[in-house]
């Protein structure tokens, strides 16, 4: 095949959780530009509907916006069922829904820690479990989990005083590797993206307080820009990554390279 064919996504169905804003919307746009039909789901379905409408108008693709709480198994099952009934297959799942909570480690409320773990880890498990059942029947699929540079190890509290978030992203990395091994014989590739610091609604508080400190530890001396996750997302969603599984692809301006 010509190299462009390895990256084309026409006829593919991609599901993105938390796709109504931030990095999820950015990744959805990248796949839409490559020709994929897009399913966006989150608890705030109105955000997904707005993004879906824009993608249809700008790229001429098919879209579906669904309400889904990734921590609720019945909600997940219903969203996956509706997607399958609408499109007849699922080629790509991006587990992007996420939560965070900032507090000193010894003051972190149990309820806050559990909420972060439920969304970031349990939600990723539940979505992957349901979608992988369809992918196994197809004998093809791509699962992309959203990890973070925060998941590689301990973080200076001046940088990120978010022990629940950091713990959850480390768990997502191990989950990615283990699920990749479990599904390898079914031609399902499971990988993760580990973004560094991109300005989003979730990160705006952290960046406003600790932005200079973060930039001082980032070799490229800037935050991630709009669109800079599109290429990595397309790689892991397309045939170009058919021999990649269990990998953590880091997009962080070089921050992790200094560790």
Residues acting as catalytic residues: 165
Is residue 74 packed enough to be buried (19+ CB in 10 Å), middle (13-18) or exposed (0-12)? exposed
Long-range contacts of the stretch 25-30 (C-beta < 8 A, 24+): 25/51, 26/226, 26/227, 26/229, 26/230, 27/94, 27/96, 27/229, 27/230, 27/233, 28/55, 29/55, 29/230, 30/227, 30/229, 30/230, 30/231, 30/233, 30/234
SS3 144: strand
SS3 170: helix
Q: Are 202 and 98 in contact (CB under 8 A)?
A: yes
As a whole number of angstroms, the distance between CA 232 and CA 248 comes to 11
Q: Are 118 and 71 in contact (CB under 8 A)?
A: yes
Crossing angle of helices 110-117 and 163-183, in 10° steps, is 30
Q: Are 115 and 167 in contact (CB under 8 A)?
A: no
CA end-to-end span of the chain, whole Å? Answer: 39
């Amino acid at each position: 095949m010509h190299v462009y064919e390895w990256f084309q996504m026409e006829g593919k169905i991609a599901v993105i959780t938390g796709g109504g804003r931030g990095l999820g919307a950015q990744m959805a746009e990248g796949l839409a530009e490559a020709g994929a039909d897009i399913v966006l789901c989150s608890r705030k379905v109105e955000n997904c509907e707005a993004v879906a409408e824009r993608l249809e108008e700008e790229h001429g693709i098919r879209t579906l916006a669904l309400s889904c709480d990734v921590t609720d198994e019945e909600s997940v099952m219903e969203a996956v069922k509706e997607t399958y009934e609408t499109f007849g297959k699922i080629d790509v799942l991006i587990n992007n829904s996420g939560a965070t909570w900032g507090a000193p480690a010894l003051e972190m409320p149990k309820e806050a820690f559990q909420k972060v773990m439920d969304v970031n880890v349990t939600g990723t498990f539940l979505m992957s479990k349901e979608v992988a059942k369809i992918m196994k029947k197809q004998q093809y699929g791509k699962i992309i989990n959203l990890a973070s540079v925060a998941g590689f190890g301990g973080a200076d509290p001046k940088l990120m005083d978010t022990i629940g978030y950091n713990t959850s992203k480390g768990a997502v990395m191990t989950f990615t590797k283990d699920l990749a091994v479990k599904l390898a014989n079914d031609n399902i590739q499971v990988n993760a993206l580990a973004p560094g610091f991109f300005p989003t609604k979730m990160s705006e508080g952290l960046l406003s307080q600790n932005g200079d400190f973060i930039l001082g530890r980032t070799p490229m001396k800037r935050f991630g820009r709009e669109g800079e996750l599109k290429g990595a997302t397309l790689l892991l969603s397309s045939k170009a990554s058919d021999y990649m599984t269990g990998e953590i692809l880091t997009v962080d301006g070089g921050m992790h390279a200094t560790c």
